Amino acid sequence: MTDQKGNSVPASSEPAERATSGSGRLQNVLHVENVTMQFGGVVAVNDLTLDIGQGEIVALIGPNGAGKTTAFNVITGVYQPTNGRIQFLGDTIIENHPKGKMKKNYLGDPAVIYPGSMVKTPDRITKLGIARTFQNIRLFKAMSVFENVLIATHMRSKADVFSATFGLNRNEELENRELAMELIGMVGLKDEADSPATSLPYGRQRRLEIARALATRPKLLLLDEPAAGMNPQETEDLADFIIRIKNDFNLTVFVIEHHMDLVMSISDRIYVLNFGKLIAQGTPEEIQKDQVVIDAYLGTGKTN
Amino acid sequence: MRILKNMIFSSDAKDLGGNVPGGAFSSAGSSAGAGTGAAGTGTSAAGAGTGAGNKPAGGYVPGSDGHAYRKKKDPHTRRNSLLTIIAAAFVICLMAFYQKNAYDHSYAISIIERSAVYVVAAAAMNLVTGFTGLFSLGAAGFMAIGAYTTAVLTIPTEVRANVYYMNGIAPWLENLHMPVAAAMILGGLISAGFAALIGIPVLRLKSDYLAIATLGFSEIIRTILAAPMMDTVTNGSYGLNNIPGFTNIFQPLIIAAICVAAIMLLLHSSYGRAFKAVRDDEVAAEAMGINLFRTKELSFVISSFFMGIAGGMLACFMRSIDTRTFQITMTYNVLLIVVLGGIGSITGSIIGAFLINGGQEWLRFLDEPLTVGGVTIPLFRPGFRMVIYSILLMVVVLFWRRGIMGDKEFSWNHLLGMFHRKKKTEGGAES
């Protein structure tokens, strides 16, 4: 198929076809298709295509500035992609094509130009079941540990503002409080529940962020450098923790990380990004041996 | 518990967390990697079978009613509620005393009534500025809407001809009359309606730009109210008078108490938490599923509703209003109270309202000539009061940079703790 300008248009792929694509996984949770994110003249993410299946832990790695966090921001709706389509549980949640000035200045690989344009704000994407943590911790600074987690339950509360104000939603409120408290207990912050979130040490703030993300009851959890600033022992514990919450909450986890020990020990599959382009994908073993990946991280040693 | 049960497959997760207080990631540290996963699923069957009705070992503090999470119990709860009752009783007695001797204390009564009006306005502004982080300067405009609605609808029909003697009255308005309470609420609703409308474009702006846009809106409202086309409704520049006033001191105080209580309850609800989340970090709030625009709009509209009520109260307090009452100075006065009391503290706004309104009057002796030992001190003359007042404000802002209360609410524990600390530093052995 082609559109008026002669660009090829992606055939409307059948959900059934996708469900069995890749390595024959049970169900495709996240499907990112030809996503390009261009800021002015800089292509931060270039023609990224990836799939994440139900129950997988998939890592996205790459040197600094490779566009990993930008990819996360596109998936969670913080940025609107310049071109591409993102599907979650078989439904298209984001789709865009170069518009206006960008039409002329578009520098991404012209694989396909998508017909539709569909924008969702981050809150709606969270509501669909994608939760995330942030690379630079973003806790609510003026609030206690407990309140930070409790906030995340607001989204799924049904009470309107009137009944919430006058306490007519007591049961729901109690359930939310209970859920928040259990999640805090789960990440081992029970004793600090009432202390200000910012009083926690760095590693614990990261854990709190994960608890907060879990309180939105996600199906897919995006972790942006969860081990940043952690010591080796904490990193090891984090690996166990991620696997455990994945199993306990029936989650799918997509993680950006620089700690290779962590990445290699927990991930089922790894995608490698460099200068916005996907340069490799595969199991940890495959990635470790991949010459392109090694070159990207260490340099090629050749002189031009 | 039910919720987590739905989310979680194995119930051991909670116990693990509870058992490792302060430990690193609370998983069973011995089993590593995939082993943990296997262990987790292995015990899940047992967990679901046996633990379905039981409480988890750790995880949360069970409240007295069996299943609720409660905050750590405050040992002084009884003392504090006793103190609150005593303080409230004292205030009520004092007010009753003033009311009984209204003639002698009319001055004090008017200060208290004016303060009550500003309490509502300041609490409403704090809701939007202090708790939602929207720097809005539209207070005067919203108060004007409330005040004019209340005034137009409550002036007794028999004196309306006198009030509108210059321009005549609109025929539809001639016999439209409402009880004060209903008119105030209607004023609040109209004010909220305007807020909802202008919020749609304006709330997409940030900080200073929002302030300027709302400031402009407030001036537009004032100009429209004063416009000649509105003469038969608002009486133009002649203003409105003969507005039925408060008949006793308790009326404004009770209205203020109800409004403040409603705002406090709202702030303690999940919506209040959403407001604070938006204030603290918009990106994180959005990632937690909070719709930024809807949350801001809600806060703005509710705040404007109470601003409208405050305007209605002001009309009843002043008994005659015109558009000059609602100049930008009015907004600044409210803002001053909010800043002085503490941005993000409702009790701070209450204290601020009484201090600002009372302070100007307590310093009145500075305007009188003062003679010490036969020498007349030259500075004490009319106008000196405002100099001292302004200096005091500057001192307060310099030393309590975040206002009197900061972003904390008033609590007896803090107040009494302050005394304890003082006693200790004075060398007293008592604790």
Structural domain contains residue A303: yes
With the C-alpha atoms ordered B68, B74, B79, B85, is the resulting torsion angle positive or negative? Answer: negative
State the best of B270, B292, B413 to mutate against chain A, taking most chain A CBs within 10 Å.
B270
State the best of B41, B127, B288, B306 to mutate against chain A, taking most chain A CBs within 10 Å.
B288
A108 shares its domain with A203: no
Determine the Cα–Cα distance for residues A237 and A231; give it in Å rounded to an integer.
10
- Choose among A143, A154, A166: nearest Cβ to B280: A143
- pLDDT on residue A12: 44
Straight-line distance from the first to the last Cα atom of chain A, in angstroms, rounded to the nearest whole number: 41
Chain A: nearest CA to B36, how far in angstroms?
7
A153 shares its domain with A190: yes
Which chain B residue shows the shortest CA-CA distance from A188? B17
Structural domain contains residue A259: yes
Contact B281 A141 (CB under 8 A): yes
Look at residue B349 and give its three-state secondary structure: helix
A93 shares its domain with A15: yes
- pLDDT on residue B71: 53
Chain B: nearest CA to A11, how far in angstroms?
32
Chain B: nearest CA to A304, how far in angstroms?
43
Chain B: nearest CA to A126, how far in angstroms?
5
| pLDDT less than 70: residues of chain B | 1-73, 421-431
Chain B: nearest CA to A219, how far in angstroms?
10
Contact B9 A177 (CB under 8 A): no
A260 shares its domain with A120: yes
Determine the Cα–Cα distance for residues B192 and B350; give it in Å rounded to an integer.
22
- Alpha-carbon radius of gyration of chain B: 28
A10 shares its domain with A82: yes
- What CATH number did the domain enclosing A171 receive? 3.40.50.300
State the best of A73, A147, A165, A202 to mutate against chain B, taking most chain B CBs within 10 Å.
A165
Structural domain contains residue A45: yes
- Choose among A151, A238, A266: nearest Cβ to B274: A151
Tally of domains within chain A: 2
Contact B33 A265 (CB under 8 A): yes
Contact A244 B13 (CB under 8 A): yes
Token pair for residue A78?
Answer: 């913080």
A1 shares its domain with A90: yes
A105 shares its domain with A54: yes
Structural domain contains residue A152: yes
Contact B33 A78 (CB under 8 A): no
Chain B: nearest CA to A187, how far in angstroms?
6
Say if residue B173 is exposed, middle or buried (CB neighbours under 10 Å; 0-12, 13-18, 19+): middle
pTM for the full model?
Answer: 0.82
Contact B270 A157 (CB under 8 A): yes
Q: What is the pLDDT of residues A197-210, one digit of tens each?
A: 989 888 889 989 99
Determine the Cα–Cα distance for residues A107 and A110; give it in Å rounded to an integer.
8
Token pair for residue B9?
Answer: 């497959």
Contact A248 B8 (CB under 8 A): yes
Chain B: nearest CA to A113, how far in angstroms?
28
State the best of B14, B15, B27, B41 to mutate against chain A, taking most chain A CBs within 10 Å.
B27
Structural domain contains residue A243: no
- pLDDT on residue A303: 55
A291 shares its domain with A150: no
- Consecutive H or E run containing B120: helix B106-129
B373 φψ region: left (φ > 0), alpha (ψ -120 to 50), beta (else) = left
Domain's final residue, options A217, A243, A271: A217
Contact B283 A134 (CB under 8 A): yes
Structural domain contains residue A146: yes
φ, ψ for residue B405, nearest 5 deg: -100, -5
A53 shares its domain with A116: yes
- pLDDT on residue B150: 94
Task: Write down the ipTM of this complex.
Answer: 0.85
Residue spans of the domains in chain B: they are 1-73, 74-104, 110-354, 362-425
Closest CA to A92 of A18, A203, A171, A165: A18
> For B110-354, CATH number?
1.10.3470
- pLDDT on residue B394: 85
A170 shares its domain with A291: no
- pLDDT on residue B38: 36
Contact A154 B290 (CB under 8 A): yes
Structural domain contains residue A185: yes
Range of the domain at A182: 130-217
Determine the Cα–Cα distance for residues A111 and A91; give it in Å rounded to an integer.
21
- pLDDT on residue A302: 60
Token pair for residue A236?
Answer: 């090891």
Contact by Cβ (8 Å): A95, A86: yes
State the best of B44, B69, B297 to mutate against chain A, taking most chain A CBs within 10 Å.
B69
A260 shares its domain with A115: yes
Contact by Cβ (8 Å): B61, B70: yes
Domain's final residue, options A217, A243, A265: A217
Contact A244 B27 (CB under 8 A): yes
DSSP for A32-69, written as a single string: EEEEEEEETTEEEEEEEEEEEETT-EEEEE-STTSSHH
Contact A154 B274 (CB under 8 A): yes
Look at residue A278 and give its three-state secondary structure: strand
Amino acid in the structure at residue A247: N
A80 shares its domain with A116: yes
The per-residue pLDDT string of chain A (304 residues; one tens digit each, 9 = 90 and over) reads 444 444 444 444 444 344 444 444 457 899 998 899 999 888 899 889 999 999 899 999 988 888 899 999 999 999 999 989 999 988 889 998 888 888 778 887 766 778 888 888 899 999 999 999 998 999 998 899 999 999 999 988 888 888 888 888 888 889 999 999 999 998 888 888 889 998 988 888 998 999 999 999 999 999 999 988 888 888 888 999 999 999 989 999 999 998 888 999 999 999 999 988 899 899 999 888 888 888 888 777 665 5
Contact by Cβ (8 Å): A220, A88: yes
Determine the Cα–Cα distance for residues B349 and B124; give it in Å rounded to an integer.
9
